[in-house]
Amino acid sequence: MVEIAQVFNNNSALINLGDHKQAIVKGKGIAFKKSKGSNLETKKIEKIFYLNTKSSRENLFFLMKDIPIDVVTTTYEIIDYAKTKLHYNVLDYVYITLSDHIFGAYQRYLSDTYQESMVPDMSNQYTTEYLIASHALDVINRNLDVDFPESEIKSIALHFINAKGDEPSANDLKESETISINQIVKSVLTDNAIFRREDNGNYYDRFMIHLQYLAGRLDDQSQEDNAEFSKNLEDEMQSSYPESFQIAKELYERLQTELDKKLSSNELLYFIIHIQRLTKEKITK
């Protein structure tokens, strides 16, 4: 028997494991008529996802603000597979980016506005990431009762390509660089009349979380940066979201100039995505 820390729905809950450790558990009817503090029968647990880091625990509650728990647990199931089955080291911010992507695609699927991914196929260069993404597609289709096409694998793989690496320790993160990054970003956002408001608060906070990890990725030689891959995406994004592209490009170049650091071209793509969400710029094609 284990103690329930929070009930998500009849089939999933957060449990206490002792020694300040927690995990997400799933199972048919596992939390039916249960509440916080209730005991849960371990034999009913079908899947368990351990929250081994502080950021993974914080990300869980951050995601639950506006993303359905079925999408959140699906995200954790995919990342758990990558870590435990394929021993793939991934930065914790992938919980934010991947869940956001899955939820967005899910909403478009339900509203019949979903379009197949235009991301170039890079499976020859990123075999492991595409293997993870292929498994992820099966998990998403099963858990969310959808039928995404195989082209979705390319988009999912992109999140693992960009988040590959070991989580930096507190000692690795230079406080001065983190402060400088925040100052530069907020300056560019302010110059373009982008502020945190009630209607964009969650997206603004997600952008800030992404930036917290940026200091640890500066000059990271382990970050693979495929120029052709990024350029194709960059051209597509510039055509689709010209205003967001210009703001993101300004931010990208100012960070490199003022910090005297090299950023992966993949960072520009994420900047565009974040800016587009903050400004709610409509796609131009």
How big is the CA angle at 94 (ends 90 and 98), to the nearest 5 degrees? 135
Average pLDDT over residues 210-222: 63
Give the span between the Cα atoms of 203 and 274, in whole angstroms.
7
28 exposure class (CB count in 10 Å sphere: 0-12, 13-18, 19+)? exposed
Over the chain, what is the mean pLDDT? 83
Tens of pLDDT, residue by residue over 30-48, are 888 899 998 888 888 888 8
Question: Could you tell me which CATH number the domain at 1-51 has?
Answer: 2.30.24.10
> Is pLDDT larger for residue 151 or for residue 205?
151
pLDDT at 82: 95
Helix (H, G, I), strand (E, B) or coil at 167: coil
Strands (E), the chain: 2-9, 12-18, 21-26, 39-40, 47-51
Give the span between the Cα atoms of 249 and 271, in whole angstroms.
8
Q: Of 61-65, 89-93, 144-148, 275-279, where does mean pLDDT reach its minimum?
A: 61-65
pLDDT at 194: 92
What is residue 49's DSSP assignment? Answer: E
pLDDT at 49: 86
Q: Of 131-145, 156-170, 214-228, where does mean pLDDT reach its minimum?
A: 214-228
Could you say which of 1.10.260.40, 1.10.1740.10, 1.10.1790.10, 3.40.50.300 is the CATH number of the domain covering 53-167?
Answer: 1.10.1790.10
State the amino acid at position 143 in one-letter form. Answer: N
pLDDT at 221: 44
Percentage above 90 pLDDT, the chain: 30
Could you say which of 1.10.1790.10, 2.40.10.10, 3.10.350.10, 3.30.470.30 is the CATH number of the domain covering 175-220+228-279?
Answer: 1.10.1790.10
**Closest to 189 measured CA to CA, from 282, 253, 279:** 279
- The string of DSSP letters for 192-254 reads TT----TTTHHHHHHHHHHHHHHHHHTT-TTS---HHHHHHHHHHHHHH-HHHHHHHHHHHHH
Tens of pLDDT, residue by residue over 88-107, are 988 877 888 898 889 989 99
pLDDT at 2: 85
Domain with CATH 1.10.1790.10 in the chain: 53-167, 175-220+228-279
> Is pLDDT larger for residue 105 or for residue 52?
105
Give the span between the Cα atoms of 155 and 157, in whole angstroms.
5
Tens of pLDDT, residue by residue over 7-26, are 988 888 999 888 778 888 98
Q: How confident is the model at residue 59 (pLDDT cuts 50, 70, 90)?
A: confident
Give the span between the Cα atoms of 208 and 194, in whole angstroms.
13
**Is the pLDDT at 55 greater than 90, yes or no?**
no
**Closest to 54 measured CA to CA, from 194, 190, 182, 209:** 209
**Is the pLDDT at 222 greater than 60, yes or no?**
no
Give the span between the Cα atoms of 116 and 63, in whole angstroms.
25
191 exposure class (CB count in 10 Å sphere: 0-12, 13-18, 19+)? exposed
pLDDT at 171: 46
The answer to whether 154 and 119 are in contact (CB under 8 A) is yes
**Closest to 232 measured CA to CA, from 115, 129, 120:** 120
